[in-house]
Amino acid sequence: MAQMHQAATGSTCPGCAEPLESGDLYCGACGYDLSAVPAAGVDTPTVVMGSPVAGEAWPAARAADGSGAPVHLPTDLPGTDSGGSPLPSHARSDGPEAESEPDEYPLPAPDPRAVDLADLGEQATHVSTPVKVCVACRAGRVDEDGYCENCGHAQPRERDHMEQELGPVAAVSDRGLRHHRNEDAFAVSTTALPDGSPAVVAIVCDGVSSATRPDDASAAAAARANESLLQALPQGTHPQQAMHEAIVAAAEAVNSLAAEPAPALEHDPHRHQNAPACTLVGAIAAGGLLVVGWVGDSRAYWVPDDRTTPPARLTEDDSWAAQMVAAGLMTEADAYADERAHAITGWLGADAYELDPHTASFKPDRSGVVVVCTDGLWNYAEGAEEMAGAVPVDAAERPLHSAQVLVGHALDGGGHDNVTVAVVPFAVPAPGAGSAYN
């Protein structure tokens, strides 16, 4: 006969979940025989809570007399904080007491059941290569060009969202909310001048969507300009001259794409093929100088750390709107409200009218940041004051976070275009530190 079990106070019937009274042998609502309910067992966890290793108990401190009374640990023990609590492993001192924990742990022996794909030969490809499924229809297979063989939907690409932080400079690029791919590109880097002082570089490029392979054009231009600057600056070339040469090198890289065989446009057979093209804007912070260079309508803005002082736009667009304003034919507000405003008059590409790199050199008297961006951002913060209002006040200390915030600002505003932004902090040298360039 099963052991008799009486209901405990606060328990419920297993049959109907009605509350039970202490000592009940049967449920008053449904008549369930409570004697058939086994007594609850003791919950014994397999991992001792608070232990550093699963399954290994952390020994409790006891009094010297073995009474089990808690012991108040001194607060100056190695491996504890000011309250006597254990410190994280990375915060503990490496005293002699720590020798019991080895610097390296032996790797476990190989599992004999594991399959070495290198020994499978041609079969390895069938085992290790997963079949990509379309993110849109969830049924079609994705071909090598990144399109679904069932519905033709373009798949997300690695360039849809990119972030990079390199020392004091950072950049973020996003596809935006309307475009099917990201045609922007960037490059950030750091190097040193001949005197050992640091130089920080940021390049941002915007592919011309009406051209063929705009994404390839922007990537080639950004990479080549960055490479050129990393070669020239350590050799002592003046930053403004180095920027000019970098833009020329970037243009040659984009021009060379036009000589390559055009890829088959099976997914867009009606698209007109012309030379790949992009815009470029770059900034160098080196030797107490701030140098910018550009071709097209991507921009650079100066935002001082002291927001009581005015920000400034450092570049002038190669665009229809800028030409109208320069000629005095339209106000800036009217020109940029026109549907022709963003028609560019200068770009990098084999079919450009002529290459006319713009460069400018500044010597700020206070610290701040340079915002280097495509029109995907400045469309939502066009004026210098608007841009400064969108830049976080701690941008110099947190450039990556600031670039993320600025991309978010564009996406929140509608994200109609690809958006790319680099944030370059500029610290004014201390008095008497001197400059490599005067």
**Is residue 353's pLDDT more than 80?**
yes
In the block, which residue shows the tokens 């505003």? 413
Mean pLDDT (whole number) for 96-118: 40
pLDDT in tens, 45-73: 323 333 233 333 323 333 334 444 333 33
The pLDDT tens digits for 315-330 are 999 999 999 999 999 9
pLDDT 10s digits, 171-189: 999 999 988 899 999 999 9
Assess whether pLDDT exceeds 50 at residue 4. no
Is 392 a residue whose pLDDT tops 90? Answer: yes
**pLDDT surpassing 60 at residue 273:** yes
Higher pLDDT, 292 or 7: 292
Q: What average pLDDT is seen over the chain?
A: 77
Helix (H) or strand (E) holding 206: strand 198-207
Record the tokens describing residue 342, joined without a space.
Answer: 């963003």
| pLDDT score for 119 | 43
Task: State pLDDT tens for residues 279-310.
Answer: 999 999 999 999 999 999 999 999 999 999 99
Q: Is 5 left (phi over 0), alpha (psi -120 to 50) or beta?
A: beta
Write the CA distances from 292 to 17, 164, 195, 299, integer angstroms: 75, 20, 22, 9
Mean pLDDT for the stretch of residues 405-433: 90
Three-state secondary structure call for residue 82? coil
Determine the Cα–Cα distance for residues 197 and 287; give it in Å rounded to an integer: 7
pLDDT for residue 152: 84
pLDDT for res 91:
36
* Structure confidence by residue, pLDDT tens digits, 239-249: 999 999 999 99
* Partner residues linked to 199 by β-bridges: 191, 286
Close Cβ partners of 247 (under 8 Å, ≥ 6 residues apart): 225, 280, 282, 293, 294, 295, 348, 355, 357, 359
Q: Using the Cα atoms of residue 394, residue 397, residue 399 and residue 400 in order, give the sign of their dihedral.
A: negative
For the ranges 95-104, 152-161, 194-203, 269-278, the maximum mean pLDDT occurs at 194-203
Identify the top-confidence range among 23-32, 103-112, 135-144, 168-177: 168-177
Instruction: Report H helices in 19-135.
Output: 123-128
344 in Cβ contact with 234 (< 8 Å):
no
- Identify which has the larger pLDDT, 99 or 352: 352
Does residue 237 register a pLDDT over 60?
Answer: yes
> Which pLDDT belongs to residue 282?
98
Element (H or E) spanning 378, and its range? helix 375-378
Integer CA distances (angstroms), 169 to 132, 175, 215, 281, in order? 35, 21, 23, 15
Question: Containing H/E element for 254?
Answer: helix 239-258
pLDDT of residue 31: 65
Mean pLDDT, rounded, for 333-338: 89
